[in-house]
Structure formats: structure tokens, C-alpha cells
A and B are shown apart, each in its own frame.
Chain A
Amino acid sequence: MNVIKLEKVKKDYLLGKVTVPALRGVDLNIEMGDFMSIAGPSGSGKTTLLNLIGCIDKSTEGNIIVDGHNINELNDYDLTALRHRTVGFIFQTFNLIPVLNIYENVEFPLLLGKMKQTKKEQNEWINHIIEAVGLSDRKKHRPNELSGGQRQRVAIARALVTQPKIVLADEPTANLDSATSEIIIDLMQKINENEKTTFVFSTHDPMIVNMVSKVIPLHDGLIANPSGV
């Protein structure tokens, strides 16, 4: 089943008065439970593609269907709501909220929408996720008291807390050393196996490329091998 479907997607950026094409017609299907990576050199359009999949940017041309919705047809409010329930983000720079502690950071996305569980269930669920990423003893710490690897684990927990259909990770290991990177990738792989959560990375980290089940090679805004794998 397709979670995300891209049809002839083009994206141009304006650099001053010059139009720079970032994506030049991308067709892509992402299926439930995929653990895949968009790979390519700098400037190949990895992040742009990820932004479009994550509904935080709109394409210049072509359709993007996320969870059955054509995002070009949604307004800002509906798009935000769609992101909230469908997509989890893991950023290269972690992007935790500095004034909230670990528990509160993980809880934060839940507070942005309507509460579906009781307070108690919610607490248990948050604790479960924090435990899953191995940070049970750091719940009361602020992000600036943690190492890079720990911060990224918090970000993973935050991305998973809303039980999204797809988690997008933009170069999640770029700011981590290789040992930590491996632990982080392992963690996500386990979650993918256990929870069937779809993961899409954008990276040029060969370790990730070796660990994922699918690689989408991106070159100059086009998928080099349209057949996938």
C-alpha cells in the first residue's frame, strides 16, 4: 500500500532572479513499512525531495499524494494537521525545543493536537517510547545537557510519539560520530521491524545506504534508476 506517491514532481527555486531547478520530474512510490534512503551528492535535491514528502514545502509542478491527500490542494491549516498525524521528522540538527526537558520534548507533538488517549495512557506511552530509545534516566534533562547521540534519540522518540505512518530523517547521522550513528540507525531499523513504521532517509552516509532495504539514487534532480532498488 502506498503511503506516498509522487507524480512528475518538479521544484524550482529562485536564486535572486535566476530560477534553479532542484527537482526535474520525479516519480516515486513509498510503501508502508519501507526502510529506504534517498541518496546522492550534495545539490542533487535530496532535502528538497524530503521536504516535499514531508509536506513542509510545495512542488512547482506535479502531484504529491500523502496518505490519500493531494497536498497541493490543501490549505496551510489542513496541511499542518496532515503533517501532525501522518509525518514524523528527524532533523540533521535535532531541532529539539531548548526550554523543554526530554519528557516534555517527546510529549510536545501530542499537545499540538486533540488528545486521543487518557492522560495516564499518554504518560505510559511517552515513557515507553523514551525507554525504547534508551533515555529513561534522562527524562528531566534539558537538550543542552545531552550528547549529540542522545539528542538524536530524543528526536526519534518525538518523531514516533504520534505514531506517524512515515518518519522522515534528513541526514540524521551528519552531526554524529560513526559509532553513535550506527546505534541510531540500529535503533530505527528495530523500530521499523517491530512497529512497521516507514522510514525515509536522505543521506550520503554509506553506512545508512548499506543498511536500508531500498535506495533511491538522486542525481541532478532526477532519479537515476527509476526502477528503484
Chain B
Amino acid sequence: MPVLLKIAIRNVFAHKIKTLIVGSLIFIGLFLMVLGNSFLDSTSKGIQRAYSNSVTGEIAILKNIDFDYSLFGTWNNIGNLSVPVLPDLKDTLTFLKNHQDIEVVTPVSSNMLMVNTGESSPDFWIMGMAVDPESYRSFFDIEDTLILLEGRFLNPGEEGIVVSSFVAEYLLDYKGIEVHPGDSLLLNGYSANGFRIREVPVRGIFEYQYVKGDIYPMLPRTCFIDQQNFNVLNGIVSKQDDTPPPQEIEDLLFNDSMEDLFSETIEIGTAVNQIETDLESLLGDMSVRHELSRVDNSDWQWLLLSLKNKDDASVKAIRADLEEYFNISYSSFREKNILRPVQIAETMVSPQDPEFSYISSLLTEKEKKSLASSLLVSDKSALTTQIVSILTSFLEREELYNEEAFRGIYFSSITKNLLHKPQKDYELIRRNRLILEEIYPFSLSPGPDYMVSEWWHAASPMSTTTVAIKAVMNFALIIIFIVVIIIIMNTLIISVMERTGEIGTMRAIGGQKRFIFYLFTLETMTISLIFGTLGMLAGAFVITILGRMGIPAPDGSILQMIAGGNSIHPELSTWTISFSFFFMLFVGIFSSLYPVIYAMKIQPVEAMRQE
């Protein structure tokens, strides 16, 4: 109704004090909101850009573990847990390298290492980051993201450590150790596999260009180290090494045949003497020692992915995609071994089943015969066992496992199982599992059980700190708005009370309650819209100027940490504007709710009491 709008707008101008109080609060609120949101928005983008460009990439993959683990160790308990290594890395690497959305993949590992600073002084810890120099270089564009103060970055296949300027300065200032390219550092590693010590040559001294750390010292203490030394120090030694040991070791340990060893004529003393002499000579020879602690260079903790499309939506989509890939392959690996054959057997006991006939069409003549003979068994549980055993043997045939339709039957049989048996017969599954384990004692090794995370997981706790800072800032904003809403509400109530006679008159001459509702809501909304828009414009204006000028973030300040750089250039986003707009509507409606209800309760008889 236009008359409503007319009255509402004229009242905004007629009740100047009310309008000014409510309006200026909304103006300040929206101004702060646009300012705060743009600031937080750009700092979070800044830190994200800085970290994903220099440290983490857009997506980081690690082993699926049930404790918090980042590139900077466990979040709360550095170095206390054994380092999780990615299983079955080779296949995964091939898959990822061929993935159409992935630009570069680089593997890294990291863990706390101690710099041995001599007997009289306590060790000094650093964050050792093992890298594959070739892919790391192209991944992070290290000419841009790292400032090399001395020396150079690691070369492929080369032993060495590139020390951060913080570590070099600390060692000089507090331990009196000068570190330059060409010197060596004595590093200690502690792991579940024991205590290791290595002497590692220093190749260079660097500083991160864009990422800074202050509260948490992990980032300044991060030093790049070659994978060989890292794995040795962390006790990551080859688990399945099929290559025979070098001849000299074999000679040393097995120089006598088994018959000789247990023959009665063996002279034990001579043999022991011989071994000791050999060991002495061996200990002097570093090459053999290295050979003994040879590591598997496919053992890494992390895969960092650089994506072709780096916008948030694509990162989320690819993350979900990869998560699905790893989950399916992991669970299917697991169920391939045990669960699925059982479920299939449970649902496929009838030869009339179309799925059954489909499977039998895939079988060789021999397999068909064996299946047919198993169907002659009348005992249902025995039949199940038979089918399970046959199906399990089919699953070892890779071409069947890769067959789309065959896998489809897996899924459908699982679904069927769930549909037909809401109360799952766990006892039956358990029994079948036992039978299976008895018949087929194959290993239950899981597939690649990976966790796909975004930059902030890998960059914890630095990234989580900025999230916490943002949360505190948001909390402060919420408190401000609660206060603002209360003040606005109070002002509106007083205004409604002053206009009791006017409201009563409107009611007396035929205005319905809803007319009063619309009138007062419209009045508040008009004020909110006018002053809110002005506040937003003022905020946008300031942000534009600040965005051009940049807010300097002094070295070592928290500002620098949350900015992810040396200055913040806040920018407006459509999200900020639209969020502020809806928030403005919310504040307008919410703060006028009680005053409007109050106004609606005013009785028409109040018209008679007007003075």
C-alpha cells in the first residue's frame, strides 16, 4: 500500500532523533562489517595463497591416520609418534600424474630433527623437510618463493641440507656454530626404530619469501633435507627389499654352508675371530654402512598437488573426487579380501539369479565345473562356503576385478544385503570370515588408505591460528551487533511509546493490526536500508583506498602471520557485500520485532488519551 510507504518515509524524516540514533548505529555496524569482512577475507585469501604457493600446494595427501598430523608434525606432540608413510605410493603416483586436473605432484616428508651442538650444550630442534628437488623446484617455483641468502637449493640425488636463516642465526647466536654452505651439521633423529645420527653437508641458507611464522616456531625452523638422510634419521627403512644383499655382506654372514655351520668339525673360535676381523675392517668403510641402512626411496609421508584450476570450487571438487577414489579403492581392497565374497555368497545361493548367470558367463570351463559341483551340495552353509571360496579365487583374477559390471554386482549385492537384512547377521559374517581365513590364508594388506586434505590441514597449526584469530574477530563483531540490536530496540520502543496516541488513532479510525505491523517494520527497514547502504558504501570506499595503498604488516607481527605476507591489500567481494546486505535486513527486522509487537498491542482507546 503506497500510503504505508509514504507515512513510513515521512516518519523517518519527522522523527529525526530516532532516525539518527538507529541510523548511525546501523551505519557504523555495516561500515565495520564491510571493513572487517573484507579484511578477514583478504587475509585468509592471502595466507591461503602464500601457503599453497610456497609450502603446501592446493591439496595434500597423507596416510589416513586418526591423530592430527601436519607438515609440521603432530599438532600437539611433535616427534612422539612414528612418522606415517604413504603405502602403495607407486600406483598412486602414476594415477595422480595422469590426472587431468593436476599440474604437478611432489612428494615430501617432514619431522623434527635435532642439531647436535656438542656435548656441553643441549640439542637444538629443527623441522626437517625432505623433498624431491626436481619436482619440488618446479612445484613451488622456488626462485620466487624462496630467498636464497647463501649457496643453493638441493640438486637431484644429492645429499645435503638447506638451512633456514632463522636456524643459521640461532646456531650462531646461541651455540656459537657458524653455518655456511660447505660446512656440515650433525643431525640426530629419534623414531620408533631408534636413535640415528648423520652428518649432513650444508648446501645453502634460505628464507621464505611469502610465508612467515611467529607464534609457532615450526615454519622458521623448517630446513630442506635430502630424502635419503631424512629416512635414515627417521628410521624409515625399506620393508620389502627383494634385492639380494651385496656379495661382501653375504660372504661375511654366510661364508660357510649350513652343513659346515652345524658340522661337528667346525672350529667355533676361528669362525668368530674371522667375523670380528671382518667387522672391524667393515666399520671403517662408510659405503657398506650406507648400504646396510639403505632406504626405499619410494617412502614418503606426503604428496602435495598443484592443480591447474586453483579456485576454491575446483579445489573442493577435486578433493572430493580424490577422496572418493581412495575410499573406493581402499574399501574395495579390504572387502575384496573378506567381506564382499561373503555377502555375494549370502545373496547368490540360487543358480536362477541373473547375477549368478552373469558371473558364470565370465568363468572358464574349469571354474564352471567346480561351481556346478558346489551347487550339488544341499547344506546351505556348506554351499555358501563353497561359493565364497570360488568367488574369492575369481577376485584374484585382475581382469574380473577391473570388469565394471562385476564390480557393479558387488555393490548391488551389498545393497541387497542391507535391504534384505536390516538386522545384519554379524554372526554369519564372522563365521564365514573365519572359514575364509582358514581356506585362504592370504594377507589382509589394505590398499592405499589415504587422506586427502586441503592446504590448511598441511599448514596446521599456522593456518588454524589464523582461523582462531578470525573467530575471535567474528565473535567481537557479533557482540557489537548484539549491543547495536539492543540499543536500536530500546530506541524504537521509546519511539513507539511516544506515538501511542497516533497508533491508537489509526486503530480507532479503522486501521487493522497488520497495518501497524507493516508501518513500523517499513519505518525501521527504510532507516536500515538508507543508513546501511551508506555504511556499506563508506566501508567499500575505505576498503578500495586501503586495497590500493595496502596495510603494512611489520616483520614478526601477528598481522604478518595472518596476512601471509608483508602487507594486506583488502578487497571487496560479492560475498561480503551480499552478506552485509542480508545482515542489515536481519538487524532491521530483528531489532524492530519486539517494538512492532508492542505497537500492535496498543489499543484503539489510547486515541482518546492523546495529549
Contacts and interface: CB of A to CB of B under 8 A. Distances in A.
B590 to A, nearest CB: 26
Interface string A91-109: 1110101111000100111
Contacts of B505: 89, 91, 95, 97
Interface stretch (A73-81, A119-127, A184-192): A73-81
A93 B611 CA distance: 7
Interface residues of B, number: 27
Interface string A54-77: 101100000000000000000011
From B3, B504, B509, name the one whose CB has the most chain A CB atoms within 10 angstroms: B509
A95 B607 contact: yes
B1 A111 contact: yes
Contacts of A99: 7, 10-11, 14
Given A83-B604, A104-B6, A97 B506 contact: yes
A51 B510 CA distance: 14
B511 A89 contact: no
A56 B607 contact: yes
B515 A89 contact: no
Contact of B608 (A47, A85, A88): A47
A88 B607 CA distance: 13
Contacts of A95: 501-502, 505, 607, 610
B14 A112 contact: no
Nearest to A84: B510
A90 B196 CA distance: 101
A92 B510 CA distance: 18
Given A95-B610, A97-B506, A76 B513 contact: yes
B10 A89 contact: no
**Is chain B's interface secondary structure helix, strand, loop, or mixed overall?**
helix
A162 B510 contact: yes
Contact of B508 (A76, A89, A113, A162): A89
B597 interface: no
B319 interface: no
B340 interface: no
A170 interface: yes
A201 to B, nearest CB: 14
Given A93-B611, A99-B11, A158-B509, A112 B605 contact: no
B510 A80 contact: yes
Nearest to B10: A99
B509 A109 contact: yes
A108 B3 contact: yes
Interface in B1-30: 1, 3, 6-7, 10-11, 14
A227 B457 CA distance: 93
Given A56-B608, A83-B604, A95-B501, A89 B509 contact: yes
A215 to B, nearest CB: 21
Contacts of A92: 608
Nearest to B11: A99
A226 to B, nearest CB: 26
Interface string B419-462: 00000000000000000000000000000000000000000000
Contacts of B14: 98-99
A108 B508 CA distance: 12
Contacts of B515: 112
B512 interface: yes
Interface string B341-380: 0000000000000000000000000000000000000000
B203 interface: no
Contacts of B605: 51, 56-57
Contacts of B501: 93, 95
Contacts of A81: 510, 512
Interface string A145-176: 00000000000001100100000001000000
B510 A112 contact: yes
B392 interface: no
A120 B512 CA distance: 25
B569 interface: no
A97 B512 CA distance: 16
A77 B169 CA distance: 82
Contacts of A88: 509
Contacts of B6: 100, 104
Contacts of A47: 608
20 contacts: A51-B605, A51-B608, A56-B605, A57-B603, A76-B513, A80-B512, A81-B512, A83-B509, A89-B607, A91-B607, A93-B610, A95-B502, A99-B7, A99-B10, A100-B7, A111-B3, A112-B511, A112-B512, A113-B510, A162-B510
Interface of A: 47, 50-51, 54, 56-57, 76-77, 80-81, 83-85, 88-89, 91-93, 95, 97-100, 104, 107-109, 111-113, 158-159, 162, 170
Given A76-B513, A99-B14, 7 more contacts: A80-B511, A80-B513, A89-B505, A89-B607, A91-B607, A93-B611, A95-B502
In the complex, the 8 A-B pairs of residues with the closest C-beta atoms, listed nearest first: A84-B510, A99-B10, A56-B604, A95-B505, A112-B510, A111-B3, A57-B605, A56-B605
Interface of B: 1, 3, 6-7, 10-11, 14, 501-502, 504-513, 515, 603-605, 607-608, 610-611
